[in-house]
Chains A and B, each alone.
Chain A
């Protein structure tokens, strides 16, 4: 089973809202990732968690706050977003961070109004 699940599938939020994106995998993977993808562009890495510790933060604005409560779960907390943050947010996991293939979830399509 190579499934990564993400909820919600779609999210519309105002600039003053607080919301969270959730990601879950049960493959025993120890690395989990958040990517942001704008239309017609490749995914851009945002954060990497390795063994539940933040390993990479690609200078993401603080209005995005990641959290890894346990090895199966990854959250992305959103607060005071801007319209330009509207995008597809993809979660991925891999066996660990040593360049194994990453398996992606279906994504959350976020619209900030």
Chain B
């Protein structure tokens, strides 16, 4: 069965600090997809990134970067020079292509608080 673990429940940083959000997943499928979503206080889930299991290249988008390591089943998310607007709950999610039910399984989320 698929499972996503976000061990950090809450993280608090001061603006301009770098912060890494951890995500560890379990799956039996050889082809799967990993996602990160941001949920600000307004409630809407905002899609950030999708990663395919066969593509382990790290990705950078502005202040955001993602480190995908199949060897440790991790898909970590780093925010560089954090800003107050980054305050939100961040969810990591997994979807299996073949053996799974083809729906997102979310981790429990990490609440990030960026203090000015």
What's the interface size class on B, roughly? 20 to 34
Beyond A41-B108, A42-B108, A109-B43, is A101–B50 a contact (Cβ under 8 Å)?
yes
Main SS of the interface on chain A? loop
Determine if A8 is an interface residue (Cβ-Cβ < 8 Å).
no
A101 with B47: in contact, given A42-B91, A56-B101 (CB under 8 Å)?
Answer: yes
| Interface pair B103/A56, CB less than 8 Å apart | yes
- Residues in B neighbouring A51, C-beta threshold 8 A: none
Q: Is B33 an interface residue (CB 8 A)?
A: yes
Q: Does A102 contact B43, Cβ atoms closer than 8 Å?
A: no
Kindly identify, within residues 28 to 53 of chain B, every residue whose CB is under 8 Å from any CB belonging to chain A. Answer: 32-33, 35, 37, 42-47, 50
A33 to B47 alpha-carbon distance, docked (Å): 15
Contact residues in A for B45 (Cβ distance below 8 Å): 43, 90, 92, 104
CB-CB under 8 A from A102, the residues of chain B are 47, 104
Q: Which B residues lie within 8 Å of A101 (CB)?
A: 35, 47, 50
| B interface, CB within 8 angstroms of A | 32-33, 35, 37, 42-47, 50, 91, 95-97, 101-104, 106-109
Binding site for B on A (CB under 8 A): 2, 33, 40-43, 45, 48, 56, 88, 90, 92, 97-107, 109
